[in-house]
Amino acid sequence: MPFRAALTHPVAGVLLLAQAMQLEMVRVPAGSYTPLYTNASTREVRVEAFRIDQRKVTRGEFLTFVRKHPGWRRDSVRAVFADDRYLSDWPGPLDPGDTAARNRPVTSVSWFAARAYCAAAGKRLPTIDEWEYAASAGETQRDATRDAAFTQRILDLYTARAAVAEGTAQRGIGNVYGVRDLHASAWEWTEDFNSIMASGDSRQTGGTSKHTDFRAVCAGAAIGASNPDNFPAFMRYAFRAALNGRSSVDALGFRCAAGA
């Protein structure tokens, strides 16, 4: 059955879509990591083994998704699920750009859209703990967060964000697990993206909770942090705190995860 015709078939279309969206995944073994913020009873968090996409989802791959699920097109998405910046960098609702653009990580997608994409692929978004655990690994160490050179390199990547401009989805540091581009090209959504930073649930249509702990968003965030020198982690936590589920940011993409 031709691919285009199969996409309209109620069963074959779903199966082919899932196959088209199956990025290569790598297995991250179980272990523990120390979050940036801990409490008196919990210094380390146990993370069970899981699988995660080797790289971010690209524009071309997201195009496959919106073709099958037109409710997630830029001109069709409901306002409750995305703000007005959703896919605003695409030339058209079904046009993510030229070949180079299609190979870039998809950005300007809301949490709701990223979550729906992963579900359509039979996956889910990674949790904060899973993402931070994987992101703490260097090229040769499972925990490189105390390595000043590693920290500086990530900070340099955050300030440059060169991979998006250069149109590649796979630049950046590949860590010991084989996960690539966790830091280079864009921030990434997580399932519970700001549950640590806000007492409310800002995945709703409004902004972050008025009770957000802004100690974690400013210079005072170093007070009580497990590693005051891990400035990239401060940046990630502050960025997440500013989001809500509808947010569509031009430097925010995603990848999917699944159980081991």
DSSP code of 216? G
Give per-residue pLDDT as tens, 115-151.
999 999 999 999 999 999 999 999 999 999 889 999 8
pLDDT at 159: 83
Average pLDDT of the segment spanning 99-115 = 96
Q: From 254, 252, 218, select the one nearest 234 (Cα to Cα).
A: 218
Strand (E) or helix (H) holding 188? strand 187-188
Q: What is the mean pLDDT of the chain?
A: 81
Q: Is the pLDDT assigned to residue 183 strictly greater than 80?
A: yes
Contact (Cβ atoms closer than 8 angstroms) between residue 185 and residue 171: yes
pLDDT at 228: 58
Structure tokens at 21: 């969206």
Instruction: Please report which confidence band the pLDDT of residue 229 belongs to, taking 50, 70 and 90 as the band edges.
Output: low
Q: How far from each other are the two terminal CA atoms of the chain, in whole angstroms?
A: 32
Average pLDDT of the segment spanning 94-117 = 97
Instruction: Please report which confidence band the pLDDT of residue 200 belongs to, taking 50, 70 and 90 as the band edges.
Output: very low
Average pLDDT of the segment spanning 35-53 = 82
Lowest mean pLDDT: which of 67-71, 232-236, 243-247? 232-236
Domains of the chain: 20-35+45-259 (3.90.1580)
Instruction: Please report which confidence band the pLDDT of residue 42 belongs to, taking 50, 70 and 90 as the band edges.
Output: low
Contact (Cβ atoms closer than 8 angstroms) between residue 203 and residue 219: no
Q: Is the pLDDT assigned to residue 97 strictly greater than 50?
A: yes
Instruction: Give the three-state DSSP class for 51.
Output: strand
Number of H helices, E strands in the chain: 9, 7
User: What is the spatial distance between Cα 47 and Cα 121, in angstroms, rounded to a whole number?
Assistant: 23
